[in-house]
């Protein structure tokens, strides 16, 4: 599975990176990006990051 972040809505809170740093990281411009595929072992934490995003801009498909 792949995660994606809609940068236009991201408020740069850093929560997704804190919850699942294997998939999400903050970029120099202050937004999150998904830089890694969501493998089976990361599905739980990536889903938690998605569900915890305060502005719901993370998609996993
Ligand atoms: S949790 Fe949501 S708002 Fe916060 S940095 Fe990640 S994508 Fe952006």
**Domain locations in the chain as residue ranges:** 3-60
Helices (H), the chain: 15-19, 43-52
Which one of 3, 14, 33, 47 would you pick to mutate in the ligand 1 pocket, going by the greatest count of ligand atoms within 8 A of its CB?
14
- Model pLDDT for residues 8-20, shown as the tens digit of each residue: 999 999 999 999 9
Give the single-character DSSP code of 20: -
CA 40 – ligand 1 centroid, Å? 22
Kindly state if the Cβ of 11 falls inside 6 Å of ligand 1: yes
| Model pLDDT, residue 51 | 98
Read off the pTM: 0.96
Mean pLDDT to the nearest integer, 43-54: 98
Kindly state if the Cβ of 5 falls inside 6 Å of ligand 1: yes
- Give me the CATH topology for the region 3-60: Alpha-Beta Plaits (3.30.70)
Nearest CA to ligand 1 atom 8: 10
Maximum Cα–Cα distance across the chain: 30
Mean pLDDT to the nearest integer, 34-39: 97
| Model pLDDT, residue 57 | 98
Length of the chain: 61
- Average pLDDT over the chain, rounded to whole? 98
């Amino acid at each position: 599975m792949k995660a994606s972040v809609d940068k236009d809505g991201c408020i740069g809170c850093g929560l997704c990176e804190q919850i699942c740093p294997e998939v999400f990281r903050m970029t120099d411009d202050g937004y999150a990006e998904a830089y890694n595929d969501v493998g089976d072992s990361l599905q739980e934490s990536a889903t938690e990051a998605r569900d915890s995003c305060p502005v719901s801009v993370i998609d996993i498909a």
